[in-house]
Amino acid sequence: MTNLILPHGGIIKNCFVSESELPSIIQECKNLKSIIVSKRVLCDLEMIGIGAFSPLEGFVEKKDYDSIVENMRLSNGLIWPIPITLQINNDNYNLIKNEKRITLKDDSNEPVAILEIKEIFEPDLKKEAQCVFKTQDINHPAVKYLLEAGNHCVSGKIKLLRHTYDEFPEYNLGCAKTREMFKQKGWKRIVAFQTRNPVHRAHEYLLKVALETVDALMLHPTMGETKGDDIPANIRMQCYQTILEKYFPQDRTLLCIMPASMRYAGPKEAILHAIIRKNYGCTHFIVGRDHAGVGNYYGTYDAQKIFDEFKPEELGITLIFFEHTFWCNSCGGMASYKTCPHDSSSHVILSGTKVREMLRSGTLPPVEFTRPEIAKILIDSMKVGAGC
């Protein structure tokens, strides 16, 4: 039997209500006070429920919140870079401030979980914004959410009645399932790749270089809430399925979604993403340039440099760092600044804006930048979106 990497904190948490408990819990929900939570929170609930946020079993209490913000660790010393909190506004605070258990509901007013309230505290939101996101600028999407979501945090363990993320259920495998699959396949060294974009040639190069050194690749795109200008999840899923089918070995790859919301926390989110992949059973994790970045809030390689602050054994997953990659006409193939001696005139590098302009006009970007099959999916989706 294959021995897998230990999850963060030593054990995968399962926070779903058992089938035998479900009828009584559903009945209890009807008698509890309730609050409706955001899509961000629904994604966090899913990540807690499937064990991806292990060792968390719910929303962090104040001692952990303070330690995470100040030291990137839980109060017990375990590395954890971003507080997972449930913020509430004043109306909801007044509604539940004396309760021990409450029901959490989705925007259809359907119960999704019971929260056992540990405490309610007032977070220092500006300090959190500065420490986690390196800015208090509300133009940063996560800072805007943070400063507007409410001035109180409710902490405590959760019990999920059902999955709170229902897209692509056949790919939402969860940590226990991927670990079981890795054992069955005999995979000992598995590299994970995080993305919120379609896989283009530079990504493909990273994945294949990494795959040369391990047993298998888990393509693990973020499918929760992203920025409004990101490509829709269903379109990206078509791209992922196509690239793996046509250009990767089927017996050494796995497509699995991560039902998390992007926080665009750059370096600190890179740490969280590494921990999550460790929980899924991956032994290696690719960190590229500007990982989980947005705007100009982080330096190009800050998400790689931050890992120097920890001892490798503390994090427990092997990190693979890559420079910016591109097609070089002089080399006649993919390269990076580490491997290519030629100047930029030989490099095929297109901005995101330029690529979007080409796709909207129905023009295929050069094959050195993206596979034609992927470009066609994106062009067709833009035609549909424009009502063509």
CA distance 40 to 33: 21
Q: Which residues pair with 120 in a beta bridge?
A: 154
Residue 197 annotated in active site: yes
Please, are residues 131 and 161 in contact by the beta-carbon 8 Å criterion?
no
Find out whether 29 and 70 touch, Cβ atoms under 8 Å: no
Helical H runs in the chain? 22-29, 39-49, 62-71, 90-96, 125-133, 141-148, 174-185, 201-211, 233-247, 267-280, 302-305, 312-315, 352-360, 372-385
Task: Indicate which residue of 14, 89, 197, 356 is catalytic.
Answer: 197
Q: 276: how many CB neighbours lie within 10 A of its CB?
A: 25
**Contact (Cβ atoms closer than 8 angstroms) between residue 189 and residue 317:** no
Do residues 276 and 258 lie in contact, with contact meaning Cβ atoms separated by under 8 Å?
yes
Backbone angles phi, psi at 297, to 5 degrees: -80, -20
3-state secondary structure of 341: coil
With CA atoms as reference, report the closest residue to 164 among 33, 281, 260: 260
For residue 271, what are its two tokens? 């740490």
Tokens 């104040």 found at: 62
Report d(CA 358, CA 380) in Å as an integer. Answer: 12
Task: Report how far residue 297's alpha carbon sits from residue 171's, in angstroms, rounded to the nearest whole number.
Answer: 32
Q: Looking at 288-344, which runs of residues are DSSP E strands? A: 318-321, 325-328, 333-336
What single-letter amino acid sits at 238?
Q
Q: Exactly one of 40, 196, 201, 371 is catalytic; which is it?
A: 196
Closest CA to 382 of 232, 226, 201, 246: 232
Spatial distance between the Cα atoms of 350 and 169, rounded to a whole number of angstroms: 34
The first and second tokens of residue 377, run together, are 């999916």
By annotation, the residues acting in catalysis are 196-197
